Amino acid sequence: MLRKRSPLIICGAFVFVAWNVILFFVLMRRPSAQGALDTPDETSNTGDGAGGGQFGNIMNEVMRVANAFEAELESQKKILLQIQSHWSVWENKGAVTAAKPKLPDEHSAPAVIAILVIACNRVTVKRCLDKLIEHRPSAELYPIVVSQDCGHAETSDVIASYGSQLTHIKQPDLSDIAVPSQHKKFQGYYKISRHYRWALNQVFNTFSYSAVVVVEDDLEVATDFFEYFRALHPILKSDPTLWCVSAWNDNGREGFVDPGKASLLYRTDFFPGLGWMLTKDLWAELEPKWPASFWDDWMRLPDQRRDRSCIRPEISRTLTFGRKGVSLGQFYDKYLRFIKLNTEFVPFTKTDLSYLEKKKYDESFEKEVYSALVVTVEDLQSGKLSGSGPFRVQYSSPDSFKTLARNLGVMDDLKSGVPRAGYRGVVSFLLRGKRVYLAPPAGWTQYDPSWS
């Protein structure tokens, strides 16, 4: 409506001015009441006095008309200024009305981070889902997708009982997989890998989420689980030296972590899993070469890791309660059931996490580790070392690493040369209240994949 009025105002102004120009010429040619502008009458007096009086009358009439015209122009000027003022107002209103609404900056809009729960035949998935829903701050920002394999009816009923609080999808291919004869006992690992591929394709390509946290059905999450991933999501997206964020610390058992450092985060070269976030871009890289089995160990190979790291916490934000599974309880009784689950809510989104930037982190990390006093396992176990550390125990071969790790109580396996929870070959943990670094000699440059 405002735009339609603008041409009318312009047209009106033009007609108005044109009319007054015509009026001016009419006034200039209009005869005076005394015929002062007519040719002098031949019968009138033609003396100098008479002629001067007639010319004076003409000049007076011209001056009168000129004055009248000047006054008229001033009046027209005021009216035109008013028209101009109204025109500006209408233009401004029109501009505001016609302008497109300002869209929110995509970088400032909260990202949607989906939670993918991998389920099979555990009715105890309820414990996992109950904690996820209890701690979830927003169903819109953290949609839960439960992907179920195995076709187990009781587990399916448990998942379905949550209704609209989550999305329940089911792996359509439940067939056995042809595996090498020596791998018949590993059929379960092949099915898990197949399920992961299908489920991740669903969340990324069917549901079109851009970031996903993968949670197994036997994990319980901490109170700040969502806060943790929310804060680290932009870092994962922007830092090409990272490829995942994990809620898990492989050496996060009670007594091996600092309870006063719930906010402490690390870079790690070991893929931890057990509650981990990846982006759609990473999945586009991994999916075409996704393995037939043992997907987590495959993730730890140099060809996949490509010298990238993950973020992990000092204190785990997930706890596994699933002793029985395809791994038949491997590591569970000795390590996993003792993992400490964080109970303190840390406001990570309001915390300065810039120390995780690779260059800054590496400089600080190397200085801290290699300025630490070198000690032996016996020194640590004797209880004679004063202070809280840090202290460094040095290894130089895979065998010495494994021996030291066992004696110190941390996990001793290596994958492609990378120790669990390790960064640049260094494993950080607490022992009897003292910070300890199990580390290679100074000058470490790269992992040796033969150390496995």
Question: Distance between CA 16 and CA 160 in Å, rounded?
Answer: 76
Helices (H), 99-209: 125-135, 153-160, 187-201
**In Å, what is the CA distance from 119 to each residue of 159, 171, 184, 195, 220?**
9, 10, 22, 10, 13
Q: Count of CB atoms within 10 A of residue 331's CB?
A: 14
- 3-class SS at 211? strand
205, β-bridge pairs: none
271, β-bridge pairs: none
To which H or E segment does residue 301 belong?
A: none
Q: What are phi and psi of 353, to 5 degrees?
A: -110, 15
Question: Distance between CA 293 and CA 298 in Å, rounded?
Answer: 8
Token code pair at residue 21 = 């120009």
Closest CA to 210 of 231, 236, 228, 192: 236
**Residue found by looking up tokens 């999945």 in the block:** 283
**In Å, what is the CA distance from 441 to each residue of 154, 171, 385, 433?**
54, 48, 21, 24
Closest CA to 72 of 61, 80, 60, 83: 80
Question: Distance between CA 249 and CA 335 in Å, rounded?
Answer: 11
Closest CA to 261 of 220, 329, 315: 315
245, β-bridge pairs: 277, 311
DSSP, res 433: T
DSSP, res 339: B
Catalytic residue (one of 239, 258, 296, 362): 296
From its phi and psi, is residue 169 left (phi > 0), alpha (psi between -120 and 50) or beta? beta
Token code pair at residue 42 = 């031949």
Q: Report the relative pairing of strands 276-279 and 434-439 from DSSP bridges.
A: unpaired
Instruction: Look up 296 and say whether it is catalytic.
Output: yes
Q: How many residues does the chain have?
A: 452
Question: Distance between CA 305 and CA 313 in Å, rounded?
Answer: 19
Helices (H), 217-275: 225-238
Question: Distance between CA 167 and CA 206 in Å, rounded?
Answer: 13
The C-alpha angle with vertex 191 and arms to 187 and 194, in degrees rounded to 5, equals 140
What are the catalytic residues? 296
